Amino acid sequence: MREMKDAEIEEIAKIARDEVFGELSLEEMEDMLKKSGEHPYLQHFIAEENGGIVGFIGWSFGDRWDKDITLKISLLAVKRDFQRKGVGKRLIEHSFRLVKAYWQKQGLNIVMLRTETDEANKNAQKFYEKILRPSQKFVVLDVWGPNGGIVFYFKKLS
């Protein structure tokens, strides 16, 4: 696991398109990633196996009140052949330690994590419930039409 290099955005976009946003073109996905924020308010990390990128995670700055902040897992994707092998879990755990250390150096404390997934994506829901053990979960129904809701997860940190 390591921080993503700018030159790797195209490969990351391909994984995101193939595994999460199949309806977008590679160019649209790459554009979305480039315009979603800049370091440190957006931090991307990758997982490598045998010299190739097999997954990535993006953390974004959510909100701030005094010295407390919230962070969001803005995007997490793992190549299909590497799913269910612990890559996503390792991405979350390892990158969170790095992101947390960065914000602590800035004198800030992370008090909550959040993420979301589509209501129809049962695998992602099971994954987030198992790995994040959220404090709260709620569903907004029919955002994208019938059976097209969004599931939000919140993990309050002590």
Residue 141 lies in a domain: no
Residue 96 lies in a domain: yes
User: How many angstroms separate the Cα of 105 from the Cα of each of 35, 38, 69?
Assistant: 26, 18, 13
pLDDT averaged over consecutive 10-residue blocks of the chain (158 residues)?
A: 91 93 90 84 94 95 94 96 96 97 96 95 95 96 88 94
pLDDT, residue 146, reads 81
Domain that residue 81 falls in: 2-115
User: How many angstroms separate the Cα of 125 from the Cα of each of 26, 29, 89?
Assistant: 25, 22, 13
What pTM was estimated for this model as a whole? 0.91
- b/e burial code for range 79-101 (CB count within 10 A of at least 16 → b): beebbeeebbeebbeebbeebbe
Residue 37 lies in a domain: yes
User: How many domains, the chain?
Assistant: 1
Residue 142 lies in a domain: no
pLDDT, residue 145, reads 83
pLDDT, residue 15, reads 95
Residue 145 lies in a domain: no
Residue 56 lies in a domain: yes
Domain at 93, CATH number = 3.40.630.30
Residue 144 lies in a domain: no
